[in-house]
Amino acid sequence: MTNVAVIAAILITGLLSASVSEQMAPSPSSGPSGAPDCMTNLLNMTDCLSYVQVGNGGGAANPDKACCPELAGLVDSSPQCLCYLLGGDMAAQYGIKIDKAKALKLPGVCGVVTPDPSLCSRNLQLSL
C-alpha cells in the first residue's frame, strides 16, 4: 500500500473508534447530582420478581428467601428508588409488568419498614 493509503486507513480506523467510543460512553445523568442509580438498585432486587411480577414466572405466593434482605438493603441505601419500582415505568421499559398490589404488600410480608408510598411525588422521587 502507498503511504497515502496507509495514512487514510489509520485515520478512518481512528475516527471509527472515536465514534464508537462516544456512542458507548454513558450519557451524563439528567437527574440531580448525587441521585442514586436506581436501575442498579432495582436489578439487585431480582429475587423479588417471582413475587411481584405478572406472568413470566411471577405470581408466587411468597417472595424468594433472598428477596427480603434485598428490599431491606434498598430501603437503607436508596428508598427513593422504591418510587421507580412502584411507578412501573422503569420495569415496563424492560418488558416487566409489576403487580403493584403485591409490590405494596412486599414490605409487610418481609417485615421491612418503608417510607409511605404517598411520599412519591409526580417525578417519582421521595420527598424525605
Bigger pLDDT: 114 or 127?
114
Instruction: Note the pLDDT tens digit of each residue in 58-81.
Output: 788 999 999 999 999 999 988 888
Q: Is position 113 within any domain?
A: yes
- The answer to whether the beta carbons of residues 23 and 36 sit under 8 Å apart is no
pLDDT of residue 80: 82
Residue 18 falls inside a structural domain: no
The CATH number of the domain holding residue 108 is: 1.10.110
- Is 49 within the bounds of a domain? yes
Torsion angle defined by CA atoms of residues 116, 61, 41 and 82, in that order, rounded to the nearest 10 degrees: -20
In a domain, 126, yes or no: no
- Helices 67-77/100-110 angle, 10° precision: 90
Position 66 in a domain: yes
In a domain, 17, yes or no: no
**Residue 23 to residues 17, 81, 98, Cα–Cα distance (Å):** 10, 27, 31
Number of domains the chain contains: 1
24 within some domain: no
Note the pLDDT tens digit of each residue in 100-121: 888 889 999 999 998 887 777 6
The answer to the question of residue 11 being in a domain is no
Q: Please give the Cα distance from 113 to 39 (Å, whole number).
A: 21
Question: What domain range includes position 65?
Answer: 38-119
- Does residue 34 register a pLDDT over 90? no
Torsion of CA 29, 125, 114, 96, to 10 degrees: -70
